Amino acid sequence: MNAVWSYLVAIAVWPGLLFAAPLGWLELWFMRKLVARLQGRQGPPFFQPFFDVMKLLGKETVIPRGVSRGIFLALPLVSVAAVTAALAIVPLPGNPVPSLPGDVVLLLYLMEVPVLCEVLAGYVSRSIYGQVAAMREAILSLAYNLPFLVAIIAMAQVAGSFQMRALQEVPYGLVHLLAAVTFLLALPARMKLNPFSIANAEHEIIADSHIEYSGPPLALFKLSHAIEVVLLTELFAVVFIPATPWPLVNLVVYLVAGILVLGGVTLLATTTARLRLTQAFRFYWVWGGLASAITMAATLVR
């Protein structure tokens, strides 16, 4: 199999779209169901996220007056393409893509693209609510990216290489634990879950920055979010969960770990109320900064 084919397979089938979309829907359903059960409700049926996306695909797209058609429709496509490409880099067992030197940097860059698309989507929509959401998202990304990036960079520092496979093969140690905690600190904000659901505060600013989107472009944004959830949980599992020599066992362990992490952040989301932007920013720069400093220090004294 030559390189082009392996990239195509990785992006389209495994671990790309064909695998990530159903898994993302499963994980979204799991989160919604868990929230509902914790609130004493029955919760949505199993296929709900799938139905939501299919229904949106069958709806009309309303483009607000004065909005550039090209960028309005391109943003959701770019967002989906970027998260799918990012997932194709993650060395899940059986991933056909060869490991490249420096793919960690590429991965971190691709993971920023959906955030950027969301900020732009808010600004191009010409809706005041969308612009507020975009501003909140942009400021929040400055906050949560500190612990998020440090967690990954600390692992690269220990591995001595910016290569995903090398990160995976680091012998398990204290840095793993510290970096995992730092990563988990950033996770709720990256997933836009409750204490940090500031950019998609539906009670304050009606919706997130996709407020003016409808129909298929909105469906693509929902799909991009579903894949992003898979990407974040699997990235956590691949980097911080010790690997066994058996690929199949690894796969099961990674999936279970992903679901457990999701359960944890969902529990946090149901038991907390939304913070203000300044509070969230301060939280990440004080406590996230502290965790980052400790993690980096641990990589040095090791």
Interacting residues with other proteins (CB under 8 A): 32, 36, 39-45, 47-48, 50-52, 54-55, 57-62, 129, 202, 206-207, 211-215, 218
Sign of CA dihedral 103, 104, 109, 111: positive
Q: How many CB atoms lie within 10 A of CB 54?
A: 11
Question: Nearer Cβ to other proteins, position 79 or 200?
Answer: 200
**Tokens at residue 213, please?**
């989107």
Least distance in Å: CB of 211 to other proteins? 5
Residue 77 CA to residue 118 CA, distance in Å, equals 12
- Report yes or no: 205 and 133 within 8 Å, Cβ to Cβ: yes
- Report yes or no: 24 and 230 within 8 Å, Cβ to Cβ: yes
Question: Nearer Cβ to other proteins, position 168 or 209?
Answer: 209
Question: Nearer Cβ to other proteins, position 128 or 177?
Answer: 128
Question: Nearer Cβ to other proteins, position 19 or 50?
Answer: 50
Least distance in Å: CB of 215 to other proteins? 6
For tokens 């970096």, the residue is: 179
Least distance in Å: CB of 56 to other proteins? 8
CA distances from 150 to 18, 59, 138, 164, 213 (A): 31, 42, 19, 15, 34
Q: How many CB atoms lie within 10 A of CB 82?
A: 22
Amino acid letter, residue 251: L
Question: Nearer Cβ to other proteins, position 8 or 207?
Answer: 207
Question: Nearer Cβ to other proteins, position 151 or 201?
Answer: 201
For residue 195, the 8-state DSSP code is G
- Report yes or no: 146 and 292 within 8 Å, Cβ to Cβ: yes
Least distance in Å: CB of 131 to other proteins? 14
Least distance in Å: CB of 204 to other proteins? 10
Least distance in Å: CB of 248 to other proteins? 32
